[in-house]
């Protein structure tokens, strides 16, 4: 009887050990550190979102997954447009990426760069959390990464060193720094400007020296980078596009984690995305838009367009939207437009 009891206990223990092997084996393959690529550091909402995500992942996985932030896209020598390719290849483990920077590899992401598509934050949320956002995530999955959540870089407003911009005519001949996207080149060319593509690292010295006259970026970037100190004394609030961010993980890295840890990383991304969006919109969604007042207090001329003035820019860029409709996808654009029309303001 005692022998039978001993054998039964031994068998049970062996079974428990066997059951525990897959998880233990999987965790033994975990990296000591995972590399997260970011364009901007923690002084900006974008980088702050990465910090929040990393901290939440560490907490939710009891330290099994440790993430190190690499801002300035330092893993790819500062070339923002190479980030998505490097992510698919495994040079980067995870990233919070810009729809703009990844659009050369994933044409559908140009949806968000179509000029004057999304007139307000409610429109942005309707698109990202509606059918169009789901279509984008499926496209990214097919492209070889695992998308988990949305963040936001923000509405891109235009600044320059010359004069206030109230009409397309005011842009004529201005050298405007833009990111490396053909759609941006088309948009600013249609408005009469001279778009100049360069990395963010090169942009600030170029503005300081007068090599370029202006740039377009969210106000959070304008403030954190202190662009008023590099001659950017005029800002126009035209809200011509919003740049959502996407929290993603390399597919092989994702598959190397246990199901429980995958769920933890996903939940951490969703929570971090929500917090990051709130940070990105701070000062613009409150009554009186305190961020605009803070910028004006630094001696910057802030121009807010009337509906009629904004419409002139919309009309001037209609040919750009028509040209890009085929590349972005008519079905995707239609889904986005439907969500915008039905949004709750």
3-state DSSP assignment of residue 271: helix
Predicted TM-score of the model (pTM): 0.88
In the chain, the domains with their CATH numbers are 31-152+244-281 (3.40.190.170), 157-241+285-336 (3.40.190.170)
43 DSSP assignment: T
Q: 1 or 280, which is more confident?
A: 280
Q: Could you report how far apart the first and last alpha carbons of the chain are, in Å?
A: 75
Token pair of 155 as six digits: 């509405």
Residue range 230-285, pLDDT digits in tens: 999 999 999 999 999 999 999 999 999 999 999 999 999 999 999 999 999 999 99
Q: How far apart are CA 113 and CA 244, in angstroms?
A: 10
Taking the CA atoms of the chain, what radius of gyration do you get in angstroms? 23
Residue range 17-62, pLDDT digits in tens: 444 445 555 566 899 999 999 999 999 999 999 999 999 999 999 9
The sign of the CA dihedral 270, 250, 220, 164 is negative
**How many residues in total does the chain contain?**
345
The pLDDT of residue 11 is above 60: no
């Amino acid at each position: 009887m005692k022998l039978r009891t001993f054998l039964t206990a031994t068998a049970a223990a062996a079974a428990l050990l066997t059951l525990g092997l897959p998880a233990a084996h999987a965790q033994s393959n975990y990296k000591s550190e995972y590399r997260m690529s970011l364009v901007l550091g923690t002084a900006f909402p974008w980088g702050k979102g990465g910090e929040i995500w990393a901290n939440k992942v560490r907490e939710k996985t009891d330290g099994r997954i440790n993430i190190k932030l690499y801002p300035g896209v330092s893993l790819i020598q500062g070339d923002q447009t190479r980030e998505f390719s490097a992510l698919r290849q495994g040079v980067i483990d995870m990233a919070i990426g810009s729809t703009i920077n990844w659009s050369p590899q994933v044409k559908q992401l140009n949806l968000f760069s179509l000029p004057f598509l999304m007139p307000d934050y409610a429109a942005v949320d309707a698109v990202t959390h509606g059918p169009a956002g789901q279509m984008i995530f499926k496209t990214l999955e097919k492209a070889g990464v695992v998308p988990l959540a949305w963040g936001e870089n923000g509405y891109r407003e235009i600044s320059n060193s010359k004069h206030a911009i109230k009409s397309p005519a005011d842009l004529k001949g201005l050298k405007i720094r833009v990111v490396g996207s053909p759609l941006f080149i088309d948009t600013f060319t249609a408005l009469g400007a001279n778009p100049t593509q360069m990395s963010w690292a090169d942009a600030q010295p170029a503005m300081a020296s007068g090599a370029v006259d202006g740039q377009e970026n969210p106000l959070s970037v304008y403030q954190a980078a202190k662009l008023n100190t590099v001659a950017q004394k005029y800002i126009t609030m035209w809200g011509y596009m919003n740049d959502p961010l996407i929290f993603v993980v390399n597919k092989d890295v994702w598959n190397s984690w246990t199901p429980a840890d995958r769920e933890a990383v996903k939940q951490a991304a969703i929570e971090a995305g929500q917090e990051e969006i709130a940070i990105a919109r701070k000062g613009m969604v409150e009554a009186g838009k305190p961020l605009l007042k803070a910028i004006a207090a630094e001696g910057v001329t802030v121009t807010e367009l009337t509906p009629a003035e904004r419409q002139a820019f919309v009309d001037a860029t209609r040919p750009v939207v028509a040209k890009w409709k085929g590349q972005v996808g008519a079905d995707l654009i239609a889904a986005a437009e439907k969500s915008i029309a039905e949004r709750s303001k």
